Amino acid sequence: MLYDLLVIMAWQSITVMSYLSFIPSSPLSTYIDDFYYIDGPAPYPRQKALPVASSNLMINLGESFAVYKPGQAEPFITCAESWWVGVWDTYHSVDWPSHVRFYGIHFKPGGAYPFLQFPLSDMNGQVVPLDAIWGDYAAELREHLRAAPTVQAGFALMELQLLARLCEAPPAFHVVRRAVTEIAATHGTLSIRQLSEQIGMSQNHLRTQFKCLVGIPPKEVARFYRFAHVLRLIDSAQAIDLTWLAHQCRFYDQSHLNRDFVAFTGHNPTEYIQLRRRVQAENPEHARAYRNLPVD
């Protein structure tokens, strides 16, 4: 899935965290991919999170997480309670506590807008405490989830609470949603000019609507989907020819493929593939779920 995490860290445990997922019913399913719950010992102390074209809301019931921008030695934010992750154009690193327990929401591209009602570009490259957006309601939601008797009860509570926060989406939302569907269907290879012609909107206006409702312009959304397709091809192939991979995914040349790998993962393609193969051998369950990679 597009929101897959790339985790690059030393392998320390074969214990797998509990991961449960729930797909809400309509109308929330228009805006949300899933609710999820993670509980248990964290198998890695640090992860790198891939940039994706959508937001992620996390409600923490355990210990704090520290978030780092690329190349930073000190965290730019420590997340203790609840927070919203905006759209990033590169990876960011997260220190996980030894034991984790939290609920999360994976929004579809643009799906967070009806719950926020401000341009999502305002959160680009940011991790924003939820109380800065929803005020006291953030703490109330967290305490209700802490008191939920079961995970399923927690999901039901989240569904009710999100329905209460859902506002009517602007007319442009449905145009942007259609455009994202077209981008996804072509794995990000559809030209933005052709896309704008298909949906009957000028490129400039389409860009403006994407920046407001998704956070980034359509060209960047396409770039993320194309790279996600690259990673799926790597996972499904026994051997990888990088020249073939660049051609198959419509990169201008291999150097452009290398550029995106470094920007999105901090590694060139060869390094990534070596690390990916290693973690697939060491722990296939984590490899399928999170694209975990060890660091030597």
- pLDDT tens digits along 147-165: 999 999 999 999 999 999 9
77 or 14, which is more confident: 77
CA distances from 265 to 218, 228, 271, 291, 292 (A): 21, 12, 10, 11, 12
DSSP state of 261: H
Mean pLDDT of the chain: 87
Residue 77 has pLDDT above 60, yes or no: yes
232 or 2, which is more confident: 232
Residue 284 has pLDDT above 90, yes or no: no
pLDDT of the residue at 274: 83
Mapped to the 3 state alphabet, what secondary structure does 271-284 carry? HHHHHHHHHHHHCH
* Residue 249 CB coordination number (10 Å): 18
Report pLDDT digits (tens) over 243-269.
988 998 889 888 999 999 999 988 999
Report pLDDT digits (tens) over 83-140.
999 999 998 999 999 999 999 999 999 999 999 999 999 999 999 999 999 999 999 9
Residue 71 amino acid letter: G
Report pLDDT digits (tens) over 35-55.
999 999 887 788 888 888 999
pLDDT of the residue at 275: 78
* Strands in the chain per DSSP E: 7-8, 18-22, 32-41, 46-49, 56-60, 65-68, 77-79, 82-85, 92-95, 99-107, 127-129, 292-293
Share of the chain above pLDDT 70, in %: 88
Report pLDDT digits (tens) over 215-229.
999 999 999 999 999
Strands 292-293 and 7-8: parallel
Helix (H, G, I), strand (E, B) or coil at 270: helix
Domains, the chain, ranges and CATH?
7-165 (2.60.120.10), 171-293 (1.10.10.60)
Residue 293 has pLDDT above 60, yes or no: no
Residue 242 has pLDDT above 70, yes or no: yes
| Region 181-199 average pLDDT | 94
pLDDT of the residue at 286: 54
**Predicted model pTM:** 0.87
| pLDDT band at residue 278 using 50, 70 and 90 as cut-offs | confident
pLDDT of the residue at 287: 53
Cβ pair 188, 222 in contact under 8 A: yes
pLDDT of the residue at 5: 39
Separation CA 296–CA 294 (nearest Å): 6
